[in-house]
Chain A
Amino acid sequence: MEGRPLVGELKVLIVDPSEDTSEVLRLVLEKQGFRAVVAGSLGESTALAERFRPDVIILDEEVDQQPSATCAHRSLIHLARESGAKILVLGRLRLPEPLEDGAVAHLGKPYHYRQLVGKINAIVEVVAE
């Protein structure tokens, strides 16, 4: 298993429509010493982001395909900017150029969880600095 993050209890918000994936992510991140919360939709994610103030947001780009999601997406980006949260986007196989608004890293599906933990640790190092 991967090493623990450099800083104490960092908070991760998982925004993923798949219950399976978000459950695995939550368990994996908690094992790594993070505090993790899960949102199944963008609408849910903004409320959680306000309350939870995450350091890292893991955002699955398939989270919402409804037109109303654009507004929620903007709110989440805005909240992330305000709080300094870093966004890791999960989605397309190819890395989008440039990265989506507010995102600091990208991981294409299907990813391996070791890769994901490695990405999060790299982000955490930046946050810690």
Chain B
Amino acid sequence: MPRETGEPTAENRPVPVWLMVLLFALLYWGMVFFDRSSGWFDAEVYAPYASLADLQAFQPRGGGFSAEHFRTIYESNCGLCHGNDGKGKPSQAPPYVGSDWVTGSPNRMIRIPLSGLSGPVQVNGTEWNLSMPAMGATLSDDDLAGVLTYIRQTFGSKASPITPEQVKKVKAEIGAHPPWTAQELQAVE
């Protein structure tokens, strides 16, 4: 009668060395990959950019002011009432197109957005009696000069540009002024 063998039992075997090496190599690669392309979970770093330094290298150079920039300012500040085409809107705002307020004296034009304009005003032979708030008071000198230049040169006229220095000078001259009337502005050269 053959002797019964006992139940087979599992034995301990050491983890093979090659597997350990492979795992460490994978771990190392994973850490390098994370370091290179995670942006370290920075909230400002989105997919095509690998890190904050990478993102900074792609920032626009030198101000980045362009016609497009001032068009954006125009459409978000002036265009709502004066129309994106500068033709004005009935009972909201007079047109820029063909207006001598636009092509006329820069000093006069700069004053309007800085303090607003209320009361009757003649534009293209039509009388408007509305009230414009000081829409440009919060814009920087550069932005206000740029957007006024945009208005002067876009809507069918090619008047002289307005510089930030001119805006700065006018700001210093008028200080905090209540809304202008058309008569006050006509007196400005």
A and B: real partners?
no
> Which residues from chain B sit less than 8 Å from chain A, CB to CB?
none
